[in-house]
């Protein structure tokens, strides 16, 4: 397993993944039939049900895997749009491996199991599994489940993006405020003049305001040492 290819998204429980690029291909707005779908199931009968359901729904770009061995490498090689996993009655170790997959790739993932409990379901959701389907695997349900999986993924992905942007904006604001304080104290400027100087410098250097502020803070901290 090539650890350098793991992306930065990590869940809060049990595992910390190494950083690396996420899969790059965008996800379609709906479950259109051009989607590349990866099905992972060790049981031939269940695998056949999933494949039949997908084929009958018009999906032709389907790859079937009979084992989860080397799963991360398979996923990066195939670069699927959606991942469907059938785990029967998974043990804790098997679930953790699947959760690592969901944390490692930003893709819609549906996990099929025979039985489960509240703790396991919550752990799967925390790990990034878009849909956790308990019992009742029928080929007629495959397309609705696929559409629900994509819809949930997109909703969670929007929330995650908004949260990341909010955190980034808050961090930038704190850095800019600190840089303004340094200028106000060292140059005797008021707040408006300090901000204007930072903005003028950023425009002159073709950088973001927060980048200039970070550079100023770093220089100031270096001179204090």
Q: Tens digit of pLDDT for each residue in 157-193?
A: 888 889 999 999 999 999 999 999 999 999 999 999 9
The mean per-residue pLDDT over the stretch 23-51 comes to 73
Q: Are 131 and 149 in contact (CB under 8 A)?
A: yes
Residue 105 has pLDDT above 80, yes or no: no
Lowest-pLDDT choice from 7-16, 39-48, 133-142, 174-183:
7-16
**CA quadruple 28, 31, 36, 41: dihedral sign:** positive
CA angle, corner 115, sides to 111 and 118, nearest 5? 85
pLDDT for 223: 77
Q: How confident is the model at residue 221 (pLDDT cuts 50, 70, 90)?
A: confident
- Which structural domains are found in the chain, ordered by start? 3-162 (3.40.50.2300), 169-224 (1.10.10.10)
Largest alpha-carbon pair distance within the chain? 76
Q: Are 63 and 77 in contact (CB under 8 A)?
A: no
Residue in 98, 108, 107, 105 with CA at minimum distance from that of residue 146: 108
Q: How confident is the model at residue 24 (pLDDT cuts 50, 70, 90)?
A: very low
Q: Give the neighbor-by-neighbor strand order of the sheet with 37-41.
A: 62-65, 37-41, 82-86, 109-113, 131-134
pTM over 0.75: no
């Amino acid at each position: 397993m090539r650890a350098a290819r793991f992306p930065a998204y990590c869940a809060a429980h049990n595992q910390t993944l190494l950083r690396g690029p996420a899969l790059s291909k965008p996800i379609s707005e709906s479950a259109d039939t051009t989607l590349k779908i990866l099905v992972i199931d060790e049981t031939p009968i269940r695998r056949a049900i999933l494949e039949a359901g997908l084929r009958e729904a018009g999906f032709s770009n389907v790859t079937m895997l009979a084992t989860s061995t080397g799963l991360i490498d398979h996923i990066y090689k195939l670069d699927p749009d959606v991942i469907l996993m059938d785990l029967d009655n998974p043990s804790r170790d098997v679930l953790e491996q699947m959760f690592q997959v969901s944390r490692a790739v930003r893709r819609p993932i549906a996990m099929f199991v025979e039985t489960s409990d509240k703790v396991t379901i919550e752990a799967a959701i925390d790990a990034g599994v878009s849909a956790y389907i308990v019992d009742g695997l029928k080929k007629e349900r495959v397309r609705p489940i696929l559409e629900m999986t994509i819809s949930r993924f997109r909703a969670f992905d929007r929330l995650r993006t908004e949260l990341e942007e909010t955190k980034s904006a808050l961090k930038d604001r704190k850095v800019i405020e600190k840089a303004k304080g340094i200028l106000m104290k060292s140059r005797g400027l008021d707040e408006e003049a300090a901000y204007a100087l930072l903005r003028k410098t950023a425009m002159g250097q073709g950088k973001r305001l927060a980048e200039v502020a970070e550079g100023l803070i770093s220089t100031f901290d270096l001179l204090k040492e």
